[in-house]
Amino acid sequence: MSLMGESFTNDDADAAYLTMGVGTAAALYEGAFTVAILMKTESDDRGIFAGWSDTVGGTDVGGYFITGGELYGRSDFSSGYGTDLGDEVWRWLVVSKPAGSAHLRWHVADLATLTWSHGESTGAGNHGNQATAAAFSIGFYQYGFGHTSSHFAAGAVWKSELNDAAVEAACTGLAQDLAAALPDAGWLAPEADAGTALVDFTEGGADETARQFMVTSADPVDFDFSLTPVDPPEDVDTPFYVRVSGVWMPIPLSGYLEP
């Protein structure tokens, strides 16, 4: 819309955030995962995304946040990743992990330049598989980090670990690239849809169920929210299409087919 938190406290009851269903992405934190959020943060201490086994603010099963201008994940006792990430710049903030006990990997890029940084935090420890999620929150995580004075424009989750190249291909200035990466759930918040509940564009059912202290704000100028309809071909030579938000879109086959 894009969405901005209007709350000015970090208490759970007064924090600003979106509550989303999990749909077909309930198993997000049970194994390998990737979460990508396009956000502009105006504070050094803000929640980004989380999964909860019961309700938002209850028992967390995964998530990440900014504190001290650096990125941290669930039960993360590292030195954090990034610098000064609360400086009012639209960025892709992405975290990924393979299945089992493993380190988190971070992927960060300014939307205006799409110059990426990939890596692990200094002192990173292992993070294991977690329980099934019953709810997701956008802009809120444990320790009371709410979405105060931060802006959300787009996001997606995958029940798999995307490598660096795949993250860069999915997280661009085009919503269509995000959809073409076939996430298990995804959300877009263009200003043109202000006041309407967010819908999971994958049609997997992870739709918005509630919002708290959220207002609309200007869209990021470097992001195109449109998803272009494509009719599936009738010939059998090009069968690789997927239905996204009620329209057919081609699946990019580069790297999947033998020449």
Closest to 204 (Cα-Cα) out of 244, 159, 155:
244
Do residue 136 and residue 192 come from a single domain? yes
Answer yes or no: is pLDDT of 236 > 60. no
Do residue 129 and residue 233 come from a single domain? no
Query: pLDDT band at 255, cuts 50/70/90?
Result: very low
- 8 lies in which domain range? 3-220
Do residue 40 and residue 101 come from a single domain? yes
Q: Any residues with CB less than 8 A from the CB of 226 and at least 6 apart, and which?
A: 175, 176
Do residue 88 and residue 167 come from a single domain? yes
Q: Specify the pTM.
A: 0.84
Do residue 92 and residue 183 come from a single domain? yes
Do residue 213 and residue 233 come from a single domain? no
Question: Rounded to the nearest 5°, which phi and psi values hold at 88?
Answer: 65, 40
Do residue 208 and residue 93 come from a single domain? yes
Do residue 25 and residue 91 come from a single domain? yes
Do residue 126 and residue 187 come from a single domain? yes
The DSSP-derived string for 174-210 is BHHHHHHT--SEEEE--GGGTTSPP--TTSSS--EEE
For residue 130, the model assigns a pLDDT of 95
Mean pLDDT of 229-256: 50
Do residue 134 and residue 253 come from a single domain? no
Q: How confident is the model over 31-54, as pLDDT tens digits?
A: 999 999 999 887 666 788 999 999
Do residue 132 and residue 51 come from a single domain? yes
